[in-house]
Amino acid sequence: MRRTLSLFLLSTVAVLVFATEAAAIGQQSFRIRAGVFQPDGESSYWLDANDVFFGSIDDFEDATVGIDYVVAITPMLDFILSSDYYGTEVAQAYRDFEDANGFDIVHDTLLDVTPITVGLIVNLAPPRAPVRFFVGAGAGVYLWQLEEVGDFIDFDAQPLDIFFDSFIDDGAEFGYYLQAGLEVPFSRQLSFVADARWDDVEADLSGDFRGFGELDLSGVRYTAGIGWSF
């Protein structure tokens, strides 16, 4: 989990450096956001896990944070560079099995995702409007890491054997997003910003998860935060 969090921090620094170097472009703004991400969970990995373990994809809803650098191309069109981070840890127990003492057989599933994206925003109201609605779209690299650690069942052993282990896989996948939101100015420099982004990205599992099919990393990010224009 530390790997993608570190990459999020590095990409955040890169966004700041890029903005500093681009200071002569014109109207610019930073947006710092926080909210929740809800994965879709529509792939073989998630469907198989739902059959074997208690819980559902809803258990993986968790906090997300992000930073945007926005440059006005025209009064109605903006360029946006974003870096986000989502991480969660969920305990999962086998549905139909217990250990010799009648306790659940449990492991923790850890997932984190760091999208680094670029996109375009279409402003649906003029710059001086009291509430500015916008829509947008973009694409980029989604860095991810999946880990399972805890107790598992060896179904090939007779009798069944319970063992402790950890499994991990990570990667970088191309994906895209759609976006809709609003901005409410407090002053010329400060504003409130809220948006929703619908991500579409899938990864082919390998490494310790080879043979588990695809990992759906798609979902919806709901965030709100503060924008600073300069």
Q: Convert the pLDDT of each residue in 168-198 to its tens digit.
A: 999 999 999 999 999 999 998 999 999 999 9
Residue 5 · residue 199 · CB < 8 Å: no
CATH number for region 2-229: 2.40.160.20
Domains of the chain by residue range: 2-229
* pLDDT of res. 8: 56
* pLDDT of res. 141: 98
- Residue 69 neighbours by CB under 8 Å, 6+ apart: 15, 16, 18, 19, 28, 29, 30, 80, 81, 82
C-alpha–C-alpha distance, residues 55 and 51, integer Å:
9
Nearest to 194 by CA among 46, 68, 98, 87: 68
* pLDDT of res. 24: 45
Whole-model pTM?
Answer: 0.87
Burial class (CB in 10 A: 0-12, 13-18, 19+), 157: exposed
* pLDDT of res. 158: 87
Any bridge partners for residue 204, and if so which? 214
SS3 10: helix
Give the position of tokens 């559902």: 56
Q: Convert the pLDDT of each residue in 117-138 to its tens digit.
A: 999 999 999 888 999 999 999 9
- The better pLDDT of the pair 4, 87 is held by 87
Q: Convert the pLDDT of each residue in 69-83 to its tens digit.
A: 999 999 999 999 999
